[in-house]
Structure 1
Amino acid sequence: MRPPPQHVSVIMPAFNAAATIERALSSALAQSHSELEVIVVDDGSSDATRDVVRLIAARDSRVRLLEDGGNKGPAAARNAGFSAATGAWLALLDADDAWRAERLERMLAVAGDRADVVFDNLLGFDAHTGGTIGPLFPSLPEVIGVSDMVAMTAPGSCINYGYLKPVFRRALVSEAGLRFDETLRTSEDLLFFLELLIVSGGATATREGYYVYTMQVGSSGRSSPYSHSKPYDVAVAAALARLREAHAARLTPEESASVQHRIDHLRAIAPVSDFHFARRTGDIRKLIDLLARSPAVRRELARGVARRMRGRAASPARTTPDA
């Protein structure tokens, strides 16, 4: 039996998200487009995440909880959600994010009868201040292609399109056998979105922002307490290389070169990413090891010292009153 053409399955992986998941679920259930189900896939939480979801599910039968067993990562959780989904459309919502109430209605209107994949802009959310800013991208192209998605940064922004969260037809995923790469714990979104774009031939986009994204570093300069991200640049580069090889016949020379450029960039920045993560987590042994063996890390540290010195030199001199 085919699902109704406008029915949406919302896929939400959750790991220790008790503090944020009620907000995420409430935003999905409050959609002006009500033909939906929300599939929460718990990824081995040790907090009260499952209890919160069960309470909400008892009030709204559109919510379903899957307990995938153990901590397998967001890719595996999303794949489990795909397998359980019954909607004609799939939409991704992280457990620390939220939607504006009109998101699904507007996204499906943009898709119409032709588009298989639709992206919208992001609104930034600062978990410390509770404030929303944005949109995070000054604009989006009407059609997002492979070269757009794989670029290190989007035009006018300090982040890239891999942060976007599409709404897409389940038939596209099923017929092409698309799944998230479960070997990755970060940037699995980027790899999956690239395959979506390769298979679909590109995505329609709207510059309007309906997805409220919790920023890892907010406007206050403080990291989000709900982020579990760490760098896996080498693993992501290897996964991109496999994708490039698997879809070589479908990629244009320009797209293939764009993917290779991202691979080269990730391999180059891997030690620096590891250095910043070790500093953030207080791993002194890792910091010393990276400083000893990586010229790129030493250059990054020297640039940081130079920036601080310039900042001090630019600040007004302190004066003392006459005796």
Structure 2
Amino acid sequence: MEHLKDPVGENFTSVMEFVLLGFSDIPNLQVFLFGMFLLVYVITLLGNGIIILITKADQALQTPMYFFLSNFSFLEICYVSVTLPRMLLNLWTQRRHISLFACATQMSFVLMFGNIECLLLTVMAYDRYVAICNPLHYPLVMNPRACVQLVAACWITGVLVEIGQTCQIFSLPFCGSNQINHFFCDIPPILKLACADTFLNEILVFTVAVLFVMTPFLLILGSYSKITSTILRLPSATGRAKAFSTCSSHVTVVTLFFGSAVIAYLRPKSRNSSNTDKFLSLFYTIVTPMFNPLIYTLRNKDVLMALRKLLP
């Protein structure tokens, strides 16, 4: 990514709107993509909505773990709703223009929900750590008030940080090209359009990524190393299998989400990385939220039992 743009010869007309190119490079597949992404959106809304419903309706699921899971499912609905409706509209109408304010708003919410998801996954790992490594203290440590405070802290932190970061990015001057080679307003393609020095912005992006992506990932890794050590010391094979089963869904979700997010935001950028960024973003903003309900449902006996009670 270029740190300093040469203003010589540039059109200095201030950009008031952008064009989200999305998947315009494959015009013959626009209808197919619309149908596919519409199906993905419906599945994501239904899957996460059902998890929220059963965790509220079934008394057996009134525990901290499922409280965090219901909040996580609500977050996934919010996360995917920031990008998919706009992308579906663009695919259907072929009108890809987005105003500067709408672009800044979308970016702010995408980054905000992404950061909150990283923090919430860390809280869920901490919940499993306390439950398995300190079971006697679990009811005291993870009491209802503490659970609400942890979730509230995730939301407040994510909101405050990303509002500041978005304001800093959109305080840059934009001129010349207004075409964003992406399906939503993400940081790397936006910074490429700025006709000013973006070095400080890139440093801030990297710092926020380390704080909200790498640090939570390392904390989760540390939690699960302790959890694995504790489980392996259990005398009963049945007990070990049960303990591992309570963590397997969360580990799968963490791997899917953090794997793509870490590569997208912390890998070295190049001039030809736009398509790779687009693919990785598609994975962690759309594909992962769709699979999360399936992962938690198919690998969790308690959720399956609650689902059978709910269905006639």
TM norm. shorter chain > 0.5: no
TM-score for both structures, normalised by structure 1: 0.29
TM-score for both structures, normalised by structure 2: 0.29
- The structure carrying a bigger helix percent of its residues is 2
Higher relative contact order (CA 8 A, sep 6+): 2
